[in-house]
Amino acid sequence: MSEYTGYKGRSLEFLKSNNVSVGDSVKITADLTFLGIIMPRYEHSDDKHVVLKLNNGYNIGLELDKITKIEKISSSEKTVESQPKIEENPSLPKILLLSTGGTIASKVDYRTGAVTPILSAEELNSSVPELSKLANIDTEVLFSEYSENIMPDHWLQIANKLVEFSKSNYSGIIIAHGTDTMHYTSSFLSFALAGFPIPIVLVGSQRSSDRASSDAALNLIGATRFLVECKSNGVYVVMHHDESDETISCHLGTRVRKNHTSKRSAFETIGNSPAFVITGDKIQKNVEGNYFKINEFTPKVSLDTKVALVKYYPGYNAELLDKIIDMDYRAIIFEGTGLGHIGKVLYESVKKAHEKGVFLGMTSQCIDGRVGMTVYESGRDLLNLGIVPLENMIPEVALVKAMWVLGNSNDKEEIKNLMLENIASEIS
């Protein structure tokens, strides 16, 4: 990182003239007095402000014209912290943590204010020392991506790595993952690895580890406690249950959505309670029987991305659907209104797609509930046009399942049967 990353023009000259650079601890006098660390700026930022990370972890922008004085308290010379080697405790179970990115397995470099990946068990133990009392944790970094950049190819990479450990002596596996697309990844792993013999949990954090309200440590502790104590196979998303620092939810990987942009309790099980709820040392189980409907583990790690998720709305242009069909997409998942409806403006396009052999599935835009396409005439018309109702499958889950199904079959009837088969509790 440059000592002036993101600064240009007036702001760059201001830092240079005051012998201050990114990572320096400073005292700034403006309308108030501020103590903190000079932070790097985004590439496209203006040149009228400097960014300061306050001691409480929050960043603020200070306008140059309002700054009357800046004093450097200490420089940004980096010190390398040596982490003590962790001695394995033979009485504790073993857990594997795979990192794919996100803030959950990261730490803050207070020299620059940047969040950097935790690459070793020693660093993880230093950051969340409670983990070493629960399990011996091995760590491995698969890749480091913001979750919006994780693509189906990454799902395949994660799944193939997990297959390597299907016969290991680990009690479970944690996947550190960004939150925005975590439920897409959990859905694919649920289908591709149905019957996996040990539990897999995806863990993220809504608040970065430099903030006092960070949920990273508690989510990791809850996930580890779940893997150690529950002995329940399946793929789960483990996150805060509510805004307190006491309760963690374990959601089935195919029945969960991120329903809030920033709350720590952003993830919710749709249509039911979370599979498990962890409060301190107490674990409440809310599901009965086997999460996987397939008991024998036979990995099917393949997919086909020629699937479209179409959200219908008043005014939807049928030419958009025609374009998808002409691009030789093999499946279209509709996110219809109410019980599973789309306007008659799309009927001719739907007929064209059905005649071409495209799988057509219907889900609902409603957060909860089941599609019911025999209630109204419009629904019955769509059934006659070849659209298959997908019960109460979450639209994003139906999209991922269709990718997985098409990656494992070319037979039209088998594709339909697999989409309707309840493989990993995607239909509740």
Q: Contact 104/146 with Cβ under 8 angstroms?
A: no
E strand or H helix that includes residue 321: helix 318-326
Which residue did the predictor score with more confidence, 110 or 379? Answer: 379
**What would the pLDDT profile of 244-279 be if each residue is shown by its tens digit?**
888 999 999 999 999 999 888 899 999 999 999 999
Q: Among 7-11, 60-64, 125-129, whose mean pLDDT is lowest?
A: 125-129
365 pLDDT more than 60: yes
- Mean local confidence (pLDDT), 185-195: 97
pLDDT at res. 212: 58
Q: What is the dihedral of CA 181, 208, 3, 24, to 10 degrees?
A: 170
Indicate the fold that domain 94-285 takes in CATH: Rossmann fold (3.40.50)
Q: 307-420: same fold as 9-74?
A: no
pLDDT at res. 264: 87
- Mean local confidence (pLDDT), 165-169: 95
Q: Among 37-51, 112-126, 403-417, whose mean pLDDT is lowest?
A: 112-126
Q: Please, which pLDDT band fits residue 57 given cuts at 50, 70 and 90?
A: confident
CA 30 to chain centre: 40
d(CA 350, CA 318): 9
Rounded to the nearest integer, the mean pLDDT of the chain is 89
**What would the pLDDT profile of 120-166 be if each residue is shown by its tens digit?**
656 766 678 888 899 999 988 898 888 899 999 999 999 999 999 99
**What would the pLDDT profile of 392-416 be if each residue is shown by its tens digit?**
999 999 999 999 999 999 999 999 9
Question: Would you name the residues annotated as active-site residues?
Answer: 103, 179-180, 258
CATH architecture of 307-420: 3-Layer(aba) Sandwich (3.40)
pLDDT at res. 230: 85
What is the CATH code for 9-74?
2.30.30.520
Q: Please, which pLDDT band fits residue 32 given cuts at 50, 70 and 90?
A: very high
Domains of the chain, by residue range, sit at 9-74, 94-285, 307-420
DSSP states along 100-139 = -SSSTTEEEETTTTEEEE--SHHHHHHH-GGGGGT-EEEE
